Amino acid sequence: MDDLKSSNEIMFLCGMQIQLSVVIITFNEEKNISRCIDSVIAVADDVVVVDSFSTDKTKQICLEKKVRFVEHHFNGHIEQKNWAITQAKNQCVLSLDADEALTKELAIEIIKIKKNWQYDGYSFNRLTNFCGSWIKHCGWYPDKKLRLWDSTKGKWGGVNPHDKVIMNQGTKIKHINFDLLHYSFYTIEQHLKQIDYFTDISAKAAFEKGKKSNAFIIFYKSKFKFIRDYFLKLGFLDGYYGYIVCKNSAFATAQKYRKLLILINSK
């Protein structure tokens, strides 16, 4: 691995083509994983799926696609994604969630980048599909994500479940104005179920950071969230599902602070 990284570093300096590992984490993603893998085949020199013991057909699909499949217990989104990076064969990585996929245009751009790697990391836009509709407002787009980088110069961080790649100080980042597709939810009920799960995690993280909550904060933050996303961020232009997205996002904010208040009062 050390020899491989040294070789890649020389290639960076010479502007030569690098080798790229695509890293994907999964859990019960039989609806999405095939599309995700198919979208990266043209850009990947190595594909590894790190799965937290799915009970559906995820493993079967991955083995049929002939990608490396590794099982690892899930200890948190950030922790799982950082561990997954250690399974990559190459220093440069493209990290995706199973419900994401490259557009043809983004894949072509990544191939060009591989041939002339000049930056430490590359970001691009993420366009989300919600119940069959593409959401282009609501604060959900362009939703810039850094997902392509030299893994020796950055790692996953943030606060679970809202992970993000944090690059080392002094690194150079370039934004690529193409879309990563995100197939988020197939039903409104699926979104609400995730909100319940994510707000458990985010409320606990807020509690551990000593954040405050009360009835006024719950009311104010949720109402402001809806007004900002639906009116100021033009969510109304996304029609019915734009309204649902903004309404559910406001509900999520309220739930986070309600659950935080419960934790505070239980001390």
pLDDT in tens, the chain (267 residues): 444 444 455 445 445 689 999 999 999 999 999 999 999 999 999 999 999 999 999 999 999 999 999 999 999 999 999 999 999 999 999 999 999 999 999 999 999 999 999 999 999 999 999 999 999 999 999 999 999 999 999 999 998 888 999 999 999 999 999 999 999 999 999 999 999 999 999 999 999 999 999 999 999 999 999 999 999 999 999 999 999 999 999 999 999 999 999 999 997
Q: Are strands 100-102 and 173-185 parallel, antiparallel or unpaired?
A: antiparallel
The pLDDT of residue 267 is 78
Homologous superfamily in CATH for domain 2-185: Spore Coat Polysaccharide Biosynthesis Protein SpsA; Chain A (3.90.550.10)
pLDDT given at position 17: 85
User: What are the residue ranges of CATH 3.90.550.10 in the chain?
Assistant: 2-185
pLDDT at 203: 96
Q: Is 137 exposed, middle or buried (0-12, 13-18, 19+ CB in 10 A)?
A: middle
pTM of the model: 0.89
pLDDT at 73: 98
